Structure 1
Amino acid sequence: MERKSSNIFLGAILIVIGILFLGTNLDWFELNWSFRQIARFWPLMLILAGVFAFLNRSRTAFNAASALLIAFAIPLGIFTCVDDGVSNFKDEFDNDWHVTIDDDDDDNYNADSDSSSNDGYKNDYSVPMGTDVMEAKLKLAGGAAEFDLEETTSNLFEAKTNLSYKTGYTLTEEVNNGIKTVEFEQKGKKGKGFNLNFDSDKNSNNTVLIKLNKAPVWDIEMGIGAGELDFDFSDYKVKRLDLNTGATDIDVKLGDKVDNVEVDINSGVTSVKISVPEGVGCELHMDGALNSKKLDGFEKVKSGLWRTPGYESTSKKIKIDADAGLSSIKINRY
C-alpha cells in the first residue's frame, strides 16, 4: 500500500510539473521565474525526499525517488549559497570602493556622453546619414537588456543605452560597394550573440534604444542573448532580418515597403512574435523539436512548411526560416 501511495504521489508531482512547462510553451499562462528564483526552492526537494523515504515500504531512506530529489537539491543548494555570497560581495565592493575596470582602450565608438548615476551608465551614440546612402546594414550584438526601436532620426543610426553595468558598446562604421555598414556591439561580445543571465528581472534595469533612418534599404543582423527585443519595422525598408538569439522575448513587426523580405531565425529557448501585413504573402519554414506554433491564417503545405492563402500569386512576399529549440512562435496578420 505504501508503495502504491509513493507512486501516486510521485506521478502527481510529475503531472503538475509537466502541465506547468506545457502551459508556458503553448502560452496558456505565463511564468516569469528566473533560474535563480527556481533554485531557491531546493529545500522543498529535501522535504519531498523525506516524504518518499517515509512512504517507502522498506522504511529505508535510500530509494530511487529520494535519491533523485537529493541529487537535484545538492547542486541547486550550492548554486544558491554561492550566488548569495557573490551578490553580497559585489554589493559591498561596489558600495565601498566604486571601482570600474576597463582595459579596452582601442574600442572605437562614438559616445556623445558617458555619465553614471545610481540608475546606471548612460551613453549616446550616432552615425551621420552622409550622402547617397541607398543601402545600409546594421549588426547589433548584446544581451541582458531590453532592446527597443524608437522613432526615426535624421542620422543614419542612433542609440541610447542605460545600463547597470559598465561594459558599454562599441560603434563602428564602414562603406563597401556603396553599402554603409554600422556595427553596434557590446564590449567583449564581438561576434557573439549569446549572453548567459540567470536573472531575467535584471534585464528591465538595462535598456538599449535604437533609432534608424527610414530612407535606406536595410539589412539587419541581431545577435541577442538573454533579454527582450521589441522592434516595429512597419515603416522601414527592411529586405533581410537575421535573428540569432538565446533566451530572448522577441516582438517584431514587419511592413510592405520591400517586395521580398527574408527573415532568418536561429533561437534557443525563445518566445517569438512576428506581425506581417494582411496583403503580403507569408511563408514559414520551421525546423526544430518541441516548439509551439500559433499561425494566423496559415495553411500547412507539408511537414515543416506553412503559407498564407494565395502566397504564390502575391506580388510582395515575406519568407521566414526558423531553426528553433524550445520556442514559442506566433505570426499575426494585421
Structure 2
Amino acid sequence: MSSRVFWGFGLVVAGGLLLAANLGLVSPAVWGVLWRMWPLVLVLWGVSLLLRPLGRAGAIITAVIVLLTAAGVVGYAVYFAPGGVQSGELVLDQPLAPEVEKVSVKIAVGGVAVDLDGAAPEGCLATGRLGYHGPPPEVDCDVAADRAELELRSAPGPTRVAGLPSPVWVIHLNPAPVYTIDVSAGACALDIDLSALKVEEFHLDGKASSVVVTFGDQGLDLTGRIDLKAGSLTLRVPRRVGVEITAASTLADNNLEEAGFERSGSRWVSQGFEAKTDRFTFTVNAVVGSVRVEWTD
C-alpha cells in the first residue's frame, strides 16, 4: 500500500474522530485508548514488508488488513473510552413475599466487585445497587409457594472501561429466609458476608477472583462447592462451627495446618469436628491460588 493511501486514510480517520469528539458523539478520552494501541503500527508495518514480494496482490492484501484493523481499533477505542458506553447503577429493590421461607440466589458477574451481606430491611428480599458499564444488569425473581429464586446477571459483553474503575455491586439480602447461594464470577473481587444469613448451600465458580466469604453461627449445617481457577480464597468461620474441607485438587498454597486442621488424604477437618452441633462441609478445587481459613472468634 502506497504511503499516499496510508496517510490519506489516516487523516480521514483522525479528522472523523476529531469531528465526532467536538460534536460530543464520542468521548475525547478515545485518544488515550488509541495511544495505548500504537504497537499495532509496528505489526502492520511488518505485515506490509512480508507481503511486499507479492507485488500488487500483496498490496491489496495489506490494504484490506489495514482497513479491517483500523476499523476494529477505532470501534474498540470508541466503545472502551470513558463516556463511550453507558454507565450507571441499577437500583435493586426486590420485595419479600410473606410466605417465602427458602430462597435460591444466583449471581453471575464479569469484571465487577461484589459486596454482599444480610442487611436488607424487613419486607425486602434484596436491596442495593448494581453498577455497570454498557447494558444494565438483568434481575429476575420468581416465587412459587414458599420458595423464591432471585437471579442477578451481568449483561453479556465487556464490563470494564479504560480509565474507569470496575463497577460495584452492593447487595443486601433479608436475614429471614434460608438460602442457597450460587455465585459465578470472572476476574473480580468478592466480599461475601453471610454472617447474618442462614445458608444451607453455597456454590462459587471463580475464574481469577479475590474472594472473602464470612460465615456466621447460623444454627444449621452448610454444604459448599468452591472452584477457583486462580486468585485467592479466604473463609472466615466461627470457631464454634466444625469445618471439613475436601480438596478436589492439590491445594498448593493453604494455611489449613496452621489453622488447626487435621489431614487425612484429601480431607481436612477442624479440631473436634465430629462433636460440633453445626458443621460446614466444603469441596474446594483451587490448583492455582491460595486458600485460607480464619477463625472469627
Among 194, 199, 207, the alignment partner of 1:233 is 194
Which whole-Å CA distance do the structure 2 matches of 1:285 and 1:200 have between them? 38
Q: Give the aligned partner of residue 262 of structure 2.
A: 300
1:330 aligns with 2:292: yes
Q: For residues 141-171 of structure 1, what are the alpha-carbon distances to aligned partners after superposition, in whole Å with 9 as ceiling and x for unaligned?
A: 01101100253333101231222x2222111
Distance 1:149 1:203, change over 3 A: farther
1:205 aligns with 2:166: yes
Q: Which residue of 2 aligns with 1:255?
A: 216
Hey, what does 2:206 align to over in structure 1?
245
**CA distance 1:284–1:161, change in 2 (3 Å):** same
Partner residue in 1 for 2:278: 316
How far residue 278 of structure 1 moved from its aligned partner, in angstroms, is: 0.9
Does residue 1:158 correspond to 2:127, yes or no?
yes
The residue identity in structure 2 corresponding to 1:240 is E
d(CA) in 1 for partners of 2:99, 2:187: 36
Cα pair 2:99 2:145 within 8 Å, conserved: no
C-alpha distance 301-132 of structure 1, shift in aligned 2 (>3 A): same
What are the superposed Cα offsets for residues 64-91 of structure 1, whole Å, 9 maximum, x if unpaired? xxxxxxxxxxxxxxxxxxx999777544
User: C-alpha distance in 2, partners of 1:254/1:222?
Assistant: 15
Q: 2:245 aligns with which of 265, 277, 284?
A: 284
The separation in 1 between residues aligned to 2:233 and 2:71, in whole angstroms, is 35
Percent pairwise identity? 19
RMSD value over aligned CA atoms?
Answer: 3.2
1:141 matched to 2:102? The reply is no
Instruction: Determine whether 1:128 maps to 2:89.
Output: no
Where does residue 182 of structure 1 map in the other structure? Answer: 150
Q: 1:204 to 1:303 in 2, by over 3 A?
A: farther
Structure 1 residues 313 and 122, CA gap change in structure 2 (3 angstroms): same
Confirm whether residue 216 of structure 1 aligns to residue 177 of structure 2: yes
Distance 1:203 1:303 in 2: 46
TM-score if structure 1 supplies the norm length?
0.61
* Aligned counterpart, 1:172: 140
Tell me if structure 1 keeps the 8 A contact 2:201–2:224.
yes
- Distance apart, 1:179 and its partner CA: 1.2
The alpha-carbon deviation at position 140 of structure 1 amounts to 0.5
User: SS at 1:218's partner residue?
Assistant: strand
Q: Find the counterpart in structure 2 of residue 274 from structure 1.
A: 235
Note the C-alpha offset of 1:330: 0.3
Report SS of the residue matched to 1:247.
strand
Q: Give 1:303's aligned amino acid.
A: G
Equivalent AA in structure 2 for residue 313 of structure 1: A
Q: Normalising to structure 2: TM-score of the pair?
A: 0.68
Cα offset, 1:187, TM superposition:
2.0
Residue equivalent to 1:20: none
Aligned residues: 228
Aligned partners of 1:144, 1:95: CA distance in 2, in Å?
16
Kindly report which structure 2 residues correspond to 1:46-65, keeping only aligned pairs within 5 A, or say none. Answer: none
Query: 1:87-116 CA distances to partner (integer Å, 9 max, x unpaired)?
Result: 7754456779x776xxxxxxxxxxxxxxx6
**CA distance, structure 1, for counterparts of residue 164 and residue 243 of structure 2:** 32
Distance 2:170 2:209 in 1: 16
Distance 1:160 1:237, change over 3 A: same
Q: Quote the offset at 1:138 in angstroms.
A: 0.3
Structure 1 residues 248 and 316: alpha-carbon distance in aligned structure 2, compared to 1, 3 A threshold: same
Equivalent residue letter for 1:241: F
Structure whose CA Rg is larger: 2
SS in 1 for 2:288: coil
